[in-house]
Amino acid sequence: MVAIWALAAETEEEARRLAAPAKMVNHYFVRGELIPVPSTADAVAWLARNETDEPPTLPAGRRRRMLRGTPQAVRDGIAAAAADYGADEVMLVNIMSDQPARRRGYALIADAFGVASAGVDA
């Protein structure tokens, strides 16, 4: 089994917006500060004030299994990770305050794999 942080949305731009809370939480986490998961709007505003051209705060090894994008792009990344690790099972997680968008993202990923997403309107 391999665990992957994955977030899918209809567009790359929307996935980037929805990933803002995770970026903010991770920024503080690597500095030893735990914060509640912010709203997407608060995190987008925080990123606008704080994002620079500096390298990401997470080391490359910790970013390699963080997937964000369109359903097909996330699906391809999940398939590649499973192949890289020889995994026959994958667990998906993410950090989002927008629960409907979280459920929608998981449904989009399930649909990209041709799997029915029980109880979620895709």
Mean pLDDT, contiguous 10-residue spans, the chain (122 residues):
95 96 92 95 94 54 76 97 95 93 95 80 52
Give residue 10's identity as a one-letter amino acid code. E
Report pLDDT for 19.
94
Give residue 114's identity as a one-letter amino acid code. G
Report pLDDT for 50.
85
Q: Retrieve residue 45's tokens.
A: 């505003």
Report pLDDT for 103.
95
Do 109 and 78 contact (CB within 8 A), yes or no?
Answer: yes
